[in-house]
Amino acid sequence: MIDITNLNETAVGTIFSWSEVSEIHRVRNGIYHRHGKLISLLTDFGRINPCYPDTHDDDQTRIFYTGSGRHGDQTMDPANRALIAAVGTNVSVPLFNKLSVGRWEFTGFWTIGEPAYIFDERADRMIWRFTLERA
């Protein structure tokens, strides 16, 4: 069994329960931060929550991650500020992908880059879009 508090790249692809993931990611929101510092991220690549249409490139070395805010235009809330503060710092955070209820896949560690405030035509709203790069 892998100790989730000591994750490394050999654990990529490992499936964890929510109780294990919550040892690192202590909130149900997708962006976990404390005192403005980014700690970890969650996604489901838009399968469960279509308001967060995260995607990855073909070789899965970059993820296009949607910022915080379910309805209407996303704002510069504390979660989005924590993502922006991490841009260019080379701080890497773990990202967990929700596969189904209670099943979370560890996707590795990611750095935050290239924030953009863009219009999402499908959702008819402005969203923050961040490029995550594999650390």
In terms of Cβ atoms closer than 10 Å to its own Cβ (0-12, 13-18, 19+), residue 58 is: exposed
How high is the pLDDT of residue 9? 83
Band of the pLDDT at 112, cuts 50, 70, 90? very high
Q: What percent of the chain has pLDDT over 70?
A: 99
* pTM: predicted TM-score of the whole model, two decimal places: 0.94
- pLDDT 10s digits, 58-96: 998 999 999 999 999 999 999 999 999 999 999 999 999
Closest among 132, 87, 128 to 110, alpha carbons compared: 132
